[in-house]
Amino acid sequence: MMDVLQQLAYQLTYHREDPILLNSAFFFYYFVVFLFCYLAVSGSKQGRVWVFSLFSLYFFYKACGWYVGLVILSAVVDFILSNRIYREPRLSRKKLLLGISVVANLGMLFFFKYTNFFIGIVNDLHLGHLTPLQIFLPIGISFYTFENLSYTIDVYRGEIAPVKEFMDYVFFLSFFPKLMMGPIVRAADFIPQIAKPYKLTAEDVGKGMYLILTGLFKKMVISDFINQNFVQYIFDDPSKHVGLECLLGVYGYALIIYCDFSGYSDIALGIARWTGFKIPPNFDSPYQSTNITEFWRRWHISLSSWLRDYLYIPLGGNRKGKVRQYINLALTMLIGGFWHGASWNFIFWGGLHGAALALDKLRITFLKKRQYVFKGFSAGFWKVVGILITFHFVCFCWIFFKASTFADAWTLIHQIIYDFQPNVMGTLYEGYKPVFWVMGMAFVLHFLPRSSENWLAKRFEKMPVPASVVVMVVFLWFIIQVKSTQPMMPIYLQF
Amino acid sequence: MLHTIFSMSEKNRFAYPFYIVAGTLGCLLALSCVQNSFSLKNFTSRQVDLLADLRPKNTPGLLPGEDSAATVAGTTTQPTSPADSTQAVDTTATAAAPRYNFETYTGIQDYGKTSTTPGDISPGMAHFLQALHDLKAGKRRKVRIAYFGDSMIEGDLITEDLRDSLQNFFGGEGVGFVPVTSIVASFRTTITHTFSKDWTDYHYKNLPAGNLPLGISGHTFLPSAGSWVKYSPVHKPHLDKFEEVNLIYGPGDGHSTLTANEHTYPLSGNQTVNSLAIQPDTTGGLLMKFDNAGSQPLYGVSFESPEGVFVDNFSFRGISGIELGRLSRDMLMHLQEERPYDLIVLQYGANILWKPELTDYSWYQRPMTKVLDSLRADFPQTSFLVISTADKSYRKEDKYVTAPGVTALLRVQHTMAEAHEAAFWNLYANMGGNGSMTQWVESEHPLANKDYTHFNRQGAAKVGALLFKALLNKYHEDEKP
């Protein structure tokens, strides 16, 4: 009995090596208890706000320990500042207060995320010899600092009135479904939903379930499976793999990053939907894009729209001439790249995308001027060509995003160009058969029309509760089976 | 509260998520309490157990009745008396070294014997250690090591660190033998090596026709009309200049020539192994062109200094060691005349452990024993060191654990080393024994790759340092009367 209690105590407290995730078994228990409590207070707005906030803060604690204090601290600071900005009549004082908010949020983000990166630069340039700090990046900090910023900037711009109840702001900031991996939610979208009564239609229930199940499927069946059984071997040491393996590894990674990230976002959206909140989608089948501009409208939408509204447009956007527009685009993407992580790889990745967006702007302007319109067969042909080019460019950039160093990235590219060895396809297929089938299935699913998604969501909508339970049980049983399959060991091909 | 749930209006389904999730949890908990695993043809389903996190944990990874090996690298265990060994003791010879528990001992266990028959040399460490002492005392100029392995030592991993330490201690400059072409040339950091694309590469998996022999690296290269190869030194200690450069080549028609740094050299040797000294150019690089070489078989180039220790890296991806049986006796014996080896190191394992749960390695032991027999016959005066498999993990349920095959293979490798009177070094115990690969991969500063098999550069450097330390201990042990 003591053993069980000890294990229980272990499970309930924070452990750095074992943080809570939306796809963990612990989360399942947590979610049931949460829903029970949430339901018990569902009639009262105050009750909902307190229950949700407390559960969210606990979730935060399970994810990153006492760094949960940072969320509360930043909620206090931004709540006070936003109200002061709103009431302040003088523009100069408004600006000063906004400046404090920007410095406080970015300062916190920089301290935790980028200090060691800059220490590394100082050391590399022999400007000094500094010891890197023992900093552990608080989970979700990149997301909630951006949420704070968009909120205070919106208040400053007069687009929204600040929140009156402090707990409402804590609720918005800590909302656990989006806490670890976004999406970046705008206060303007979210806060009005808090006061609304907790009502769910059949559509909400069906859509929520659809999002949760497909999210889990993308994350655990597609992404984790391909990564563990194939792609991680390739990126770990590209020099040990021939060009064909490296290329397939890059295609695999394109699926992994999409399925992992969008799957997690979908689970967050589904849980939010079940608790009465609608959050706009974060991904929209991005690999269907026919050009890079479209890709960024369909990939990590909450980040790209945030960068557009709070970085690109304040920089001048397209209002200060063509040259400035290209510079602004490149700069926005460079900073966007840096947001993903403190390394030159991310900056380079952002730079590549920025340059491509600028070039694409040129192409669009050129086509507009000449009034080119493709019709019939040529329209279809160019669409396919566009999709292929865009996908391959995005894949090329992923190499730098994923590789741990520049050297690794170049090694992988070197292998694809100089050591392709297409003749190993048969052996490769034999060795990784299930992986390639899952990859094939994932690409097919990605290119299915939206109507098929709606069809499945509609089926869930019409299901009675017991049928939903059966679907969930079977689905979770399936996930457990996939998760525990014996991993395929890498095959090293020489010839 | 239940009252409110059941009396809610028809349209508001706000309690549905709770019903669905609670119902699902209830079903899965009920399932967890019973045996729910089933088998269908080749598929056995995994037990669904939602309570697993609350149950007391068992230590995974070991087979019943199997002891875990040393858990801390660097710990040594007390020697056990010879009588503890299950191996029959040869009565014609006396054991040269104390015996340790090979499963945990991190030093070099030498099974070499001091023979009573004069002139008969045991394949243990004695010859090699004597050669090192002679080198140190100025009684001999060179000591050479042939280090055979698979992808674990590709790109000069492990050997570069071992070579560097040995050359620091015993002297010597140069990277040793380098083949004509190599799939990992661009990732080798101990020499800059480029070559034309038109070489024909015969090797273990693409055997040459007729009586064309394979070279010691497992490769034999034939040039085309425009073939070239270029080597340049790198800016690292012991590797920053070429001193003695020798082309090692096979039997030809006697009329071929090569151009190296604008000088023409005849390839007149007609033995199975021939050596040709080549002058490096003033910039230190070496460009060799084979326009008039017909189909002259070539093995590689060696880079040494007049005195010191030299370590030749013979990596071949994807092999188990059995392939060494393809090396002809004739080639090896001629090679031994041209460039004698004092120690042969054999490090294999990764490609034998392709099925993690396989524990019967008799299929490997039989052919590998034959290979060791013939190598021993081909190198009658040379020391042999068998290095065990490294730890290798595989995912069992949710965690990476040591594959049960590792210790099983290790025992087979040890048995073979002992039976051949060779020396044995337990790499697995040196890594830390059971579960060490998982630690090496998952540590904050990883020492191995995510395939839970291969070391990265840092891990290889650590292994190289451990091996050097073990060799040096043996060397110092030998100094004592």
DSSP string, A167-191: HHHHHHHH-GGGTTT-----HHHHH
Helices vs. strands in chain B: H and E counts, helices first: 10, 23
In chain B, % of residues over pLDDT 70 = 86
The pair phi, psi for residue B145, each rounded to 5°, is -120, 130
Q: What is the mean pLDDT of residues A365-372?
A: 84
In chain A, % of residues over pLDDT 90 = 60
Question: Which pLDDT tens digit goes with each residue over B106-134?
Answer: 999 999 887 656 566 788 999 999 999 99
Q: Is A7 on the interface with B (CB under 8 A)?
A: yes
Confidence of residue A357 (pLDDT cuts 50, 70, 90): very high
Q: Is B283 on the interface with A (CB under 8 A)?
A: no
Can you tell me the distance from the alpha carbon of A9 to that of A11, in angstroms, rounded to the nearest whole number? 5
Whether pLDDT at A83 is above 90:
yes
Q: Is A43 on the interface with B (CB under 8 A)?
A: yes
At B84 the pLDDT is 37
Contacts of B42 (CB under 8 A, 6+ apart): none
Which residue does chain B place closest to A485, by CA atoms? Answer: B397
At A487 the pLDDT is 58
**What does DSSP assign to residue B390?**
P
In one letter, which amino acid is A381? F
Q: Among A268-272, B82-86, B348-352, name the most confident range.
A: A268-272
Q: Same domain for B116 and B144?
A: yes
User: What residues form DSSP beta bridges with B245?
Assistant: B278, B303
Between B89 and A1, residue with greater pLDDT = A1
Contact residues on chain B for A486, CB-CB shorter than 8 A: 356, 394-396
Least confident window among A83-92, B4-13, B274-283, B413-422: B4-13
At A470 the pLDDT is 95
Q: What is the mean pLDDT of residues A284-298?
A: 95
Q: Same domain for B428 and B468?
A: yes
What is Dmax (Cα atoms) for chain B? 103
Whether pLDDT at B85 is above 70:
no
Whether pLDDT at A28 is above 60:
yes
Q: Which sequence spans correspond to the domains of chain A?
A: 12-198, 203-483
Q: Same domain for B326 and B473?
A: yes
The last residue of a domain, from among B264, B289, B306: B306
Confidence of residue B67 (pLDDT cuts 50, 70, 90): very low
Six-digit token string for A283: 């991904």
At B394 the pLDDT is 87
The last residue of a domain, from among B256, B284, B306: B306
Which residue among A39, A239, A489 sits closest to B18, beta carbon to beta carbon?
A39
Q: Cβ B53–A26 below 8 Å, yes or no?
A: yes
The alpha-helical segments, DSSP class H, found in B272-384 are 329-338, 362-378
Least confident window among A13-22, A66-75, A120-129, A285-294: A13-22
Mean residue pLDDT of chain A comes to 90
At B282 the pLDDT is 63
Q: What is the mean pLDDT of residues A407-426?
A: 89
At A493 the pLDDT is 46
Sign of the torsion formed by the C-alpha atoms of B49, B52, B58 and B59: positive
Q: Among A194-198, A373-377, A428-432, A488-492, name the most confident range.
A: A194-198
Sign of the torsion formed by the C-alpha atoms of A175, A178, A181 and A187: negative
Q: Is A136 on the interface with B (CB under 8 A)?
A: no
Q: Is B20 on the interface with A (CB under 8 A)?
A: yes
Q: Is B396 on the interface with A (CB under 8 A)?
A: yes
Q: Cβ A486–B396 below 8 Å, yes or no?
A: yes
Q: Cβ B14–A486 below 8 Å, yes or no?
A: no
Q: At what angle do helices A322-340 and A344-370 cross, to 10 degrees?
A: 150
How many other β-carbons are positioned within 10 Å of the β-carbon of residue A478?
A: 15
Contact residues on chain A for B395, CB-CB shorter than 8 A: 228, 486-487
Which residue among A4, A28, A489 sits closest to B354, beta carbon to beta carbon?
A489
Whether pLDDT at A192 is above 60:
yes
> Which residue, B30, B21, B23, is CA-closest to B49?
B30
At B480 the pLDDT is 60
Number of domains in chain B: 3
Is residue B156 left, alpha or beta, with left meaning phi > 0 and alpha meaning psi from -120 to 50?
left
Q: Same domain for B346 and B478?
A: yes
At B283 the pLDDT is 67
Contacts of A175 (CB under 8 A, 6+ apart): A52, A56, A185, A190, A272, A277
In chain A, % of residues over pLDDT 70 = 97
Q: Is B381 on the interface with A (CB under 8 A)?
A: no
Confidence of residue B5 (pLDDT cuts 50, 70, 90): very low
Contact residues on chain A for B28, CB-CB shorter than 8 A: 473, 476-477
State the best of B7, B18, B186 to mutate against chain A, taking most chain A CBs within 10 Å: B18
d(CA A492, nearest CA chain B) in Å:
6
Which residue among B14, B16, B45 sits closest to A465, beta carbon to beta carbon?
B16
How many other β-carbons are positioned within 10 Å of the β-carbon of residue A123?
A: 14
**Residue B145 is assigned to a structural domain of this protein:** yes
Q: Cβ B187–A411 below 8 Å, yes or no?
A: yes
Q: Is B440 on the interface with A (CB under 8 A)?
A: no
The order of strands in the sheet holding B192-195 is: B192-195, B228-232, B286-289, B257-260, B263-266
Residue numbers of A annotated as active site: 340
At A283 the pLDDT is 94
State the best of B451, B452, B455, B456 to mutate against chain A, taking most chain A CBs within 10 Å: B451
At B122 the pLDDT is 81
Q: Is B358 on the interface with A (CB under 8 A)?
A: no
3-state per-residue secondary structure call for B28-75 = HHHHHCCCCCCEECCEECCCCCCCHHHCCCCCCCCCCCCCCCCCCCCC
Q: Same domain for B165 and B183?
A: no
Q: Same domain for B181 and B166?
A: no
Q: Cβ A7–B21 below 8 Å, yes or no?
A: no
Q: Is A116 on the interface with B (CB under 8 A)?
A: no
**Residue B5 is assigned to a structural domain of this protein:** no
Whether pLDDT at B174 is above 60:
yes
Range of the domain at B473: 60-172+308-481
Can you tell me the distance from the alpha carbon of A348 to that of A335, in angstroms, rounded to the nearest whole number? 10
Q: Cβ A466–B23 below 8 Å, yes or no?
A: yes
Q: Cβ A239–B50 below 8 Å, yes or no?
A: no
**Residue carrying the six token digits 């005392």:** B137
State the best of A6, A24, A39 to mutate against chain B, taking most chain B CBs within 10 Å: A39
Which residue among B23, B395, B449 sits closest to A465, beta carbon to beta carbon?
B23
Count interface pairs A-B at CB distance under 8 A: 141
At B7 the pLDDT is 42
CA B440 → CA A36, B371, B402, distances in Å? 43, 32, 12
Q: Same domain for B191 and B292?
A: yes
The alpha-helical segments, DSSP class H, found in A13-130 are 25-40, 45-64, 68-87, 91-124
Confidence of residue B305 (pLDDT cuts 50, 70, 90): very high
Per the CB < 8 A criterion, the answer to whether B230 and B194 are in contact is yes
Contact residues on chain B for A237, CB-CB shorter than 8 A: 449, 451, 454, 456
Six-digit token string for B303: 């880079």
Query: Residue A344: is it exposed, middle or buried by C-beta count within 10 angstroms (0-12/13-18/19+)?
Result: middle
How many other β-carbons are positioned within 10 Å of the β-carbon of residue B12?
A: 15
Mean residue pLDDT of chain B comes to 85
d(CA B27, nearest CA chain A) in Å:
7
Confidence of residue B54 (pLDDT cuts 50, 70, 90): low
Confidence of residue A209 (pLDDT cuts 50, 70, 90): very high
Q: Cβ B27–A3 below 8 Å, yes or no?
A: no
Confidence of residue A484 (pLDDT cuts 50, 70, 90): low
Between A20 and A338, residue with greater pLDDT = A338
Is residue B318 left, alpha or beta, with left meaning phi > 0 and alpha meaning psi from -120 to 50?
left
Q: Is A410 on the interface with B (CB under 8 A)?
A: no
At A127 the pLDDT is 77
Question: Which pLDDT tens digit goes with each residue over B182-196?
Answer: 988 878 899 999 999
**What does DSSP assign to residue A423?**
G
Q: Same domain for B295 and B315?
A: no
Q: Same domain for B379 and B466?
A: yes
Q: Is A466 on the interface with B (CB under 8 A)?
A: yes
At B115 the pLDDT is 62
Contacts of B294 (CB under 8 A, 6+ apart): B252, B253, B255, B256
Q: Is B18 on the interface with A (CB under 8 A)?
A: yes
Q: What is the mean pLDDT of residues B291-315?
A: 93
Six-digit token string for A110: 């920089």
Six-digit token string for A38: 């949430």
CA B27 → CA A202, A291, B49, B392, distances in Å? 23, 47, 11, 38
Q: Same domain for B374 and B421?
A: yes
CB-side neighbour CA atoms (13 Å) of B216: 32
At A32 the pLDDT is 95
Between A47 and B282, residue with greater pLDDT = A47
Which residue among B14, B54, B183 sits closest to A7, beta carbon to beta carbon?
B54
Can you tell me the distance from the alpha carbon of B300 to that of B180, in angstroms, rounded to the nearest whole number? 5
Least confident window among A473-487, B47-61, B185-199: B47-61
**Residue B474 is assigned to a structural domain of this protein:** yes
State the best of A44, A209, A489, A495 to mutate against chain B, taking most chain B CBs within 10 Å: A489
Which B-chain residues 312-331 have CB contacts (< 8 A) with chain A?
Answer: 316-318
Q: Is B8 on the interface with A (CB under 8 A)?
A: no
At A341 the pLDDT is 84
Question: Which pLDDT tens digit goes with each residue over A238-265?
Answer: 888 889 999 999 999 999 999 999 999 9
> Which residue, A418, A82, A121, is CA-closest to A246?
A418
Q: What is chain B's percent helix, strand, coil content, to nearest 5?
A: 30, 20, 50
At B9 the pLDDT is 43
At A489 the pLDDT is 58
Sign of the torsion formed by the C-alpha atoms of A98, A102, A105 and A108: negative
CA A111 → CA A342, B43, B290, distances in Å? 11, 51, 60
**Residue carrying the six token digits 């407390």:** A54
d(CA A199, nearest CA chain B) in Å:
5
User: What residues form DSSP beta bridges with B307?
Assistant: none
Contacts of A349 (CB under 8 A, 6+ apart): A337, A340, A397, A398, A400, A401
Q: Same domain for B316 and B222?
A: no
Whether pLDDT at A18 is above 80:
no
CA B184 → CA A412, B314, B317, distances in Å? 13, 12, 10
